[in-house]
Structure formats: C-alpha cells, structure tokens
Copies of this chain bind each other. A is one copy, B any other.
Amino acid sequence: MLDEIGVDLALFSDHDSVRWLTGLDLPAPALLFFERGEFTLLADEGFAAAAAFAAEFGCAFVPIVGYTIQQPIDAPARLAEALRDLLADVSRPSGPVGVEEKSLPLALWQTVREALPNCEHRSLEGSLLPLRAVKTEEELARIREGFRLVTIGHQAGRKAVRLGQREIDVWTDVQTAVEREAGMWMQMGNDCIVGHRPANIGAAPLDYDIIANDSLILDLSVVVDGYWTDSCATYYAERPTAQQVEMHKFVEEALAFAVSLIRPGVVAQDVDSKVRSYMSAGGYEVYPHHTGHGIGLTGHEAPRIVPYNQERFQEGNVIMLEPGIYIPGVTSVRLEDAFLVTSDGVEPLSHHDKGLP
C-alpha cells in the first residue's frame, strides 16, 4: 500500500492505526515509523507487550519515557527526540513523507521538517480503513471473547430490570457481572435508558427510576484487547403491555428481515433503505439512526449501513444490525445482533437473549 502511495518514509500517528498495524492495545500515544520496508515502534517504556511484540516480529522498538520522578512528565517531547534520532539515520533523498495529518501533532511534523528540510508530505489519512473492515482470525478471536462477556452482561441486565431499581442500578449490575467474569476492568458502553425518558433512543444511565409498564433499552459494548462488540436488548419492568409486545415482535421481524439481506456484494445503502421501508410499511416511524455498522477498533466503522453508503459487503466484515421503535416519553424497543459476513450469508456472533419475557 505504501509503495502504491509512493512513499519510502511514513509516520503512523493515529492511535487506531498503530493498534491495528501492531495488534497491540497501546494505552498511550505511540508512533510507528516506516522506512523502506522496515517498521520502528515508538511507545511507552512501561508497556511490556510492545517490547515483546518487537522481539517477535523483528520490528525495532524505541522505548519512550513516560512517568518518571527525575524530570517533568512529557511523552510528546520524548517522542519528538526519539523521532529526531531516527530521522538522522534516514538515507537521503527520501522523497515525500507519508503522514496521517488529522492526528500527527505539529510538533512532530516540525521535527521531520528540521531533519529533512523542504520535504513534502503525502496523506495516509484513512488508508487503512478499507483493510480494517475485513477481520483476521486473530481479530475475530478477540471479538468472540467480547460477545461471550456481552451475553453475561445481558443476563445480569435482564435480571436487574424491575420496579424499585434505577437505570444506574441496572448498569452497575451489568458492569459488575462482566468485570467479575473477565477478572479485570473492561471498557464498556453504551446505553441503559428507560422508555419514559423524553429522549429514549440512547444515553448513558442516570438516576431515572424504572416505573410501572416501563421498558429499558440495554445497548451493551464490551471491549476486549481493543476490539469492540455491540449488542442491544429491551427488557420490561413488569409483564409487557399489548403495545410493547406488538412493538417487540415487529422489531424482531425487522431484525430477521435485515439479516436475510446480508451477503457479500450487497450494497450497504440498499440494506439500509429496505429495512427503513420495512419499518414504515409496518406503520412505524423510521428510526433516525443507522440501520447498522461495522465494528472493530472503534464502535462504529466500515461498513456503515446508512443512506449514503455505496460500499458492498465483503466476506470478513463484522457488522451490527439494530432496528428500533421509539415513542418519546412512553416506551421504546431496540434489538441488535452482530454478524460475521461469510461467503454466502452471515454467521451470528452475538448470542444474548433478546426475547420477550
């Protein structure tokens, strides 16, 4: 890819680019330096996995001093110093330098210009995104482990939704179940909200009470080794009302319809449009959000299933589908599942119970 772009020298500064290229869930800013086929990773000296990675894959590793009591904490300055040293050894002339200009700090670009006066830059911005949309087995293993934890979170959530509890009480039960199972802190999201909220599509949990005839949307992501999952189910404070049962069943059907459309070669915006039509044909207002989206190192990435997107699904995509119905201040339902796009359809990745009680 760098050959095609025409650079012998490149800097990957985007946090997700460095994570994807190394497979490391780097906790702090890092830089991946490329020169004529060789990579050098510049990362915090305290991150043991970086040194192990470098040794395993023959990538040079430059440790950057982070926390210290002997001098001010200033990783950006140390990173610039280390980059200056690397650039001193670059064979000249070097041609244009590939950069990710939306994340590369001006200070590092100045370092490049001081070492290689008058050099030009060429954009690498977004160049990895199409590659990131097709997952490897290594990535899928992290994602599958995430969905195992998602199921455990939803089991706790379903149990916690009852009169006398608040959104935040449900959430802390979910969080506790997931973290105790994982045996560690987990980055988690997204929505945990009652149906009687004025805006009941999505938000972080607050101290809203679960009231009579309430619904609660639990939209849960658990991040494993940097890889996001996603999922949604809707639970009820009591026996769901006739209206809730009808809405819930319709969303189940809409989700099944959406799933039936996915296979390699299908255009994302066509799926989006068909599922929106399905909702309105059923007499419901069409949800204002995406029909679905890819996941990976971020919670929302390619392929997005939205009105403008002409991308085609490919084998190896990991996508979410999430139709919903929202009656502001009254009740809402959303159901969401994850799928791996296979050669002729999909393989379900999420396994939480989304059924009516």
**B-binding residues in A (CB < 8 A):** 69-73, 76-77, 99, 101-107, 109-110, 121, 125, 166, 168-169, 171-172, 175-176, 179-180, 182-185, 204-207, 288-290, 300, 304, 306-308
Do B175 and A172 touch (CB < 8 A)? yes
For A176, A182, A288, the residue with the greatest tally of chain B CB atoms inside 10 Å of its CB is A176
Do A176 and B184 touch (CB < 8 A)? no
- Contact residues in B for A73 (Cβ distance below 8 Å): 300, 304
The CA of A203 and the CA of B180, in the complex, are separated in Å by: 17
Do A204 and B183 touch (CB < 8 A)? no
Our pick among B106, B300, B308 for the contact of A70 (Cβ within 8 Å) is B308
The CA of A172 and the CA of B308, in the complex, are separated in Å by: 42
Q: Other CB < 8 Å A-B pairs besides A106-B109, A171-B185, A185-B204, 19 of them?
A: A69-B288, A69-B290, A69-B307, A73-B300, A102-B107, A106-B106, A168-B179, A168-B184, A171-B179, A172-B176, A172-B179, A172-B180, A175-B175, A175-B176, A183-B206, A183-B207, A184-B204, A184-B205, A185-B205
**How many protomers of this protein does the assembly include?**
2
- Contact residues in B for A206 (Cβ distance below 8 Å): 183-184
Does more than half of chain A's interface fall in helix, strand or loop, or is it mixed? Answer: loop
Q: List 23 A-B contacts (CB under 8 A).
A: A69-B289, A69-B304, A70-B307, A71-B308, A72-B308, A76-B102, A101-B106, A101-B107, A101-B110, A102-B107, A104-B105, A105-B106, A106-B109, A168-B184, A168-B185, A172-B176, A172-B179, A175-B176, A183-B207, A184-B204, A184-B205, A184-B206, A185-B205
- Contact residues in B for A166 (Cβ distance below 8 Å): 183
Nearest CB of B to A351, in Å: 23
- Contact residues in B for A76 (Cβ distance below 8 Å): 102
Do A306 and B69 touch (CB < 8 A)? yes
Nearest CB of B to A116, in Å: 15
Given contacts A102-B105, A106-B109, whether A184 and B172 have CB atoms under 8 Å apart is no
